[in-house]
Amino acid sequence: MPSLIDLRRRIRSVKNMQQITKAMKMVSAAKLRRAQERAVASRPYAAMLSRVLSNVAAAAAGLQETEDLPLLQAREEKQIQLIVVSSDTGLAGAFNSNLFRSAQRFIDEHRGVDLKIEAIGRKARDYFRKRNFSLTGEHVGIVDKPAYDQAAAIADKMIQGFRNSDLDSVYIVVNEFKNVMAPRLVLRKILPIELPEDKDNRPDYIYEEPPHELLKVLLPRYVEMEIYRALLESISAYHAARMTAMDAASSNAGDVIQDLTLNLNRVRQAHITREIIEIVSGAAALG
């Protein structure tokens, strides 16, 4: 049976841990609000960019110049680039483990091809390094405060690789913000660009430049926005997952404290009862 000193020490230790988890929950809740605002604000722009791209592509359809655009060229997937967007820190439940499980499943499904990994976030870098994957790039410290310039640099690297035929396709796997309770794990292809088809309510634009020239400018911007939005969605989903995990940890700590306190009271009662019995036995022996 543990002593009273051991039980009090354990209760104090768990209470200290509970204070830490509560503080971390509050920090993540504050960061989530700001990150969520940025992620939600990016969605209308991304949707409008996709719609404009679809309309311009429809206007440029059938032209030889459009068909020759490098970012639209679909090839046999012999060289694949996978971008994995994780977090820099942990303590967020299954946020990163589910992401890596999805990435590993994709890797297993493409065993016969040359597959390269671009790791965004310290957790992704460490995961693939430990498993001896060759990384084409690692980006640590950009996830907490995503900047468009950083996303554009990664996108330019992917675009150049695709244009030079060093890559046949580029995929990205990321946790997108769905709600506070659970993120939405997404794996999608970003190169070659698959133009969306929106035949309803398509406006009739008046073009100053030929449509295929506009398309040539819009396609790289579309790739940049896809990566930038992935960074924004990932950090929002991370703080939501961390807030949920810290709330569960605080609740579990409360249960542990309750059980330890009950056990402490039982041990203390047993000690008092034993002392009373010893006193009574001693008095009876003297009498």
Tokens at residue 33, please? 């609000």
pLDDT: is 55 or 135 the higher one? 135
* CA distances from residue 250 to 6, 82, 96 in whole angstroms, order as listed: 22, 36, 21
Q: How confident is the model at residue 56 (pLDDT cuts 50, 70, 90)?
A: confident
Alpha helix segments (H runs only) across the chain: 4-60, 64-67, 95-109, 122-130, 148-163, 211-286
Query: How many C-beta atoms surround the C-beta of residue 19 within 10 A?
Result: 12
Question: Cα–Cα distance between 92 and 52 in angstroms, integer?
Answer: 37
pLDDT in tens, 100-125: 999 999 999 988 888 999 999 999 99
**Contact of 80 with 168, CB cutoff 8 Å:** yes
Q: How confident is the model at residue 218 (pLDDT cuts 50, 70, 90)?
A: confident
246 phi and psi angles, rounded to 5 deg:
-70, -35
**What's the pLDDT score for residue 117?**
93
79-85/135-139 β-pairing = unpaired
**Contact of 121 with 87, CB cutoff 8 Å:** yes
The domains of the chain, with CATH numbers, are 4-22+245-282 (1.10.287.80), 32-241 (3.40.1380.10)
**Contact of 106 with 143, CB cutoff 8 Å:** no
